[in-house]
Structure 1
């Protein structure tokens, strides 16, 4: 067996060689025993997730919402594309030595590179917010619907952009991480400068701002810039992790210059506050909203990470 072939042996195969002897043979040795236990616990956890429809990822207590938000709520659930993403996460976590390599490389690179750029350089940590099917439900469109231009702000490696791309002739993106910019270019998306995307030279039918408002320095300015570039009749999709905890990866103290203060503590309370205290004052009105899991590829310890996303479809307010 070559070194490369051994490097790519999944843990599912390791555990089947001579029963489970390979996985547990190191249990009496502290370091390798810890690794074996970590993998074993993850495999058990994965099996539980495979038999779970994760309905709680999508649940909102409608009785805690005002009438207009309740009427705008779209109930989604775990569909086949979401399950495909999770299966891919399970499979990638099984590549034990690749995950060890990523862990070591990340520890070394973190001395001089931000986490987003590390993931871009290593080709790991892809995200999932919604499927193509869920996207069409959010916009209330069919598979034949087509518009001219999409702008995905803070697009990362473009895997989420890919869900929206088939419905537009031209795909634009912004991203501050150079390794991620390369990945976006490799996918054929046109990456706009983060300082001039809102100069008015291009307008867009849809602007997506997914999990960016809590990770950027000037979230309120971004919302006002979106208004400048949105075509009449266009829409905005905004995803925000709740509870709201701003963190600026590229900032000196990791705190944003512009602060968003949300009222309440529950998912429902903060969702209402986003609409009333952030989006409406910025000149947007709510079309539709839902709750989805914000999924990220995992590592040896867990196959995927998940946060709670409030997802909003907005349009320009008639009041301006």
Structure 2
């Protein structure tokens, strides 16, 4: 399912990620057992969640990974790696479904978020509550993007804007030393608790060279994304790789460091569809920044849910990039 994008992506413009409406569910299963709608606010919320969860249980999740390659330039289309919802993806979904059904925990989260939002960012609140974990790719999907059969290991990786480290955990086993950056202090503490070396956001690129840099769903949350790509290029070892994920259609939103939440640097991404923007981000952003595409794919950017829906998702493009001098802009 493909939806319009707000701050994250949301059909109803209220939840931040893909949220299911009754009208999307009515043709997919029998509603006879749900005809009597409860009147109380909490009861209606639980009722609507039951509808959306029933719909998502029958939803064809292979659609998350499909891309119309006929609309992609042939040289780029040839580098597409077809992925699917593997056991780790389904495990994350099942855990999200279980957690969202803990009604009193979800009510507690709502109350705390209302109070803390006066003086904390949403990211820090999520870290404090241990909620809102994300999922991008599993370990096996990561290896497929690298075109490896499993015998792949490098020395160092740094995950920029690593959040609570849940996404990092799927790729960390392939590296001897794992570094991370994160603006939120609560998230930094969670990263340290996982055993990752947390570096300062302002100076991470001065601490050495890396075999891989992960920049997962950060460019659209960064105040100066073009400058960040320049830093990444300089911080990679000569044979290093950039593992990058970007939500498409593209929509920038800066949580910290911008009064109007708009970035200082705008990425020149054009096109309306996922496929059009894939071609644009490679031609207009990656190549001028000094990167070439090794492989890429389409995956769901999954997030734990709440009282209204068990989990949410966005359309994510994931890339393995290598430093290249071709077409680089000065």
TM over 0.5: yes
Q: Deviation string for 1:274-320 (max 9, x for gaps)? A: 00000000000011111100010010001111111011110011436
Which shows bigger deviation, 153-162 or 43-52?
43-52
Structure-1 residue corresponding to 2:247: 241
| Structure 1 residue 55: Cα displacement | 1.4
Structure-2 residue corresponding to 1:298: 305
Which shows bigger deviation, 113-122 or 51-60?
51-60
SS in 2 for 1:232: strand
- Do the aligned partners of 2:45 and 2:307 also contact (CA within 8 Å) in 1? yes
| Structure 1 residue 34: Cα displacement | 2.5
Structure-2 residue corresponding to 1:49: 56
SS in 1 for 2:269: coil
Question: Does the alignment pair 1:74 with 2:54?
Answer: no
Give the direction of change, closer, same or farther, for the CA distance of 1:295–1:190 in structure 2 (3 Å limit).
same
SS in 2 for 1:72: coil
Structure-2 residue corresponding to 1:270: 277
Question: Does the alignment pair 1:172 with 2:179?
Answer: yes
For 1:145 and 1:139, the matched residues in 2 are separated by 9
Q: Deviation string for 1:227-251 (max 9, x for gaps)? A: 1110111111111111111000012
Structure-2 residue corresponding to 1:91: 98
For 1:235 and 1:144, the matched residues in 2 are separated by 17
Structure-2 residue corresponding to 1:17: none
Residue among 261, 282, 288 paired with 2:289: 282
SS in 2 for 1:198: helix
For 1:255 and 1:26, the matched residues in 2 are separated by 41
| Structure 1 residue 273: Cα displacement | 0.6
TM-score normalised by structure 1 residue count:
0.88
Question: Does the alignment pair 1:204 with 2:207?
Answer: no
For 2:98 and 2:51, the matched residues in 1 are separated by 14
For 1:180 and 1:61, the matched residues in 2 are separated by 37
Structure 2, gaps ≥5 residues long: 1-35
SS in 2 for 1:149: strand
Structure 1, gaps ≥5 residues long: 1-24
Aligned residues: 293
- Do the aligned partners of 2:291 and 2:324 also contact (CA within 8 Å) in 1? yes
Question: Does the alignment pair 1:150 with 2:152?
Answer: no
Residue among 120, 145, 148 paired with 1:141: 148
| Structure 1 residue 133: Cα displacement | 0.8
- Do the aligned partners of 2:142 and 2:171 also contact (CA within 8 Å) in 1? yes
SS in 2 for 1:308: strand
For 1:219 and 1:162, the matched residues in 2 are separated by 24
For 1:156 and 1:96, the matched residues in 2 are separated by 25
| Structure 1 residue 53: Cα displacement | 3.9
| Structure 1 residue 261: Cα displacement | 2.3
| Structure 1 residue 141: Cα displacement | 2.1
SS in 1 for 2:67: coil
Structure-1 residue corresponding to 2:25: none
- Do the aligned partners of 1:53 and 1:78 also contact (CA within 8 Å) in 2? no
